[in-house]
Each structure stands twice: as C-alpha cells, then as structure tokens.
Amino acid sequence: MTLVDAAGAAPAPGSPVRRGPGRPRDAGHDARILSAAIALMERGEEVTVGRVVELSGVSRAAIYRRWPSMTDLLAAALDQGREAPPLPYGDDLLGALLEGYTSPLPAMGAGYSEERLRLRLRLALSDRRLAQAYWRSHVSRRRSGITALLQAGVARGELREDLDLEATIDLMNGVFYYQYVVRGVSFDDPSMLPRCREALRIVWRGIVREPDAHPG
C-alpha cells in the first residue's frame, strides 16, 4: 500500500513534498489528517491525497505543509497513540528494565492497540521506505529511555564498558517482535510475559560486567 497523489503517482523515494503558500498551521488539522490516513489503512483502502482530503476536510496544501513526504505521513499515522515506556530507574537497573518492557505489556499507550501494531508491522514489511521512515521519525527517538538506563549501568560499573547499546536494544526489542511476528501470540497470552521476562534476564546476564579477576 502506498500513498499516492490524485494522479495516481507515488512520490519518488526520498523526494520532499512541495510546500505551497498558505495560512499558518492549524494544530487541529494534524489530528484530522492522521485520523483520516489511519482509517483508510485500517480499511485496507488505497491511501491517496484526495481520499485524505475528503475524509479529513483539510486542504491538500495543508497536508503538503506538514510532512516532507507522503511516506512520512503514513509513518506518523501508524504511530498515533504510541508512547515511550517510562523507565524510572534507581538502584535496581534490571528491575527497571523488566518493568519498563513488561509492566504493563505493551507499554505503548492507551490509544495504541494490538491491531494497530500488527497493521504497522504488515505494512512496514511490505514497504522498506515506510519502515525506514517509521524508524527515523519515531522508533529511534523512543529508545532514549532505555539508552539512558544502559548508559547508567555502564557508568556505574554494572555493565560492560564495551557494551554496544544499539545492538543490545535491538536484541531486547526483538524478543517481543518475535512473539507477534513468528509465534503469533497476543498480548494476553499467559505464556508471553514469563517467556519475555526470562529472555530479558538472559540478555542482562550477557551484558553484566564480569568481576575483576584477581591473580592467585
């Protein structure tokens, strides 16, 4: 599924949408545009500028002023309602990590459903440009909390000094994506939380700093 203009042509990869002159941005337009786009995607309909204009009541120029490309608009629509899990960590970094990832599960925000997650995964797997736009605009920014937690562990001497933060976060996030994509389980599956928590503990044991060896 791609977002196309009224003539049926998809924008070239990486090409910006031309922003025309007009009145100052109305913050209320953003929600209406995004809601229209996500409604079309959830219905399985082709997402065109014309249909977004029709459903949202917002002008074509207003859409072009808000997103650098139409792929970015789809990424923003798919992220509606998503929130980054809070990670209030203190002395127990592992406990904070487990709570942030699994209590509640998913810690994505009340407005973000399992159906929305599966829609995003399905569309991103079929459109690499959409996946990359979603990563660039949303996912990479949400990793700041877990990045800070791991950095604190390194600074305190609990985690390995040579820890690759990006690879570690990819590994932990992959535990959860595997449940949805490969196992096909739902958030309320009784076996999911214990399995994910144990996987996180395994990762943690691999990144903990080993005690300094003492000769003799």
Give yes or no for a cis peptide into 85 (omega within 30° of 0). no
Q: Where are the chain's structural domains?
A: 3-78, 93-207
Predicted pLDDT at 158:
95
Q: Give the residue from 199, 168, 206 showing the smallest Cα distance to 98.
A: 199
159: β partners: 208
What tokens appear for 63 in the block?
A: 């859409």
22: left (phi over 0), alpha (psi -120 to 50) or beta: left
- Give domain 93-207's CATH number out of 2.60.120.560, 1.10.1060.10, 1.10.357.10, 3.40.50.720: 1.10.357.10
Is the pLDDT higher at 118 or at 24? 118
Q: Average pLDDT for residues 114-139, to the nearest whole number? A: 88
**pLDDT (0 to 100) of residue 109:** 55
Which of 117-131, 145-159, 191-205 is predicted with the least confidence, judged by mean pLDDT?
117-131
Pick the range with the lowest mean pLDDT from 10-24, 85-99, 106-120, 184-198.
Answer: 10-24
Element (H, E) at 91: none
| Chain segment 194-206, per-residue pLDDT in tens | 999 999 999 999 9
Q: Which two tokens stand for residue 135?
A: 């990563």
Q: For residue 216, is pLDDT > 70?
A: no
Model confidence at 156, pLDDT cuts 50, 70, 90, reads very high
Q: What is the pTM of this model?
A: 0.74
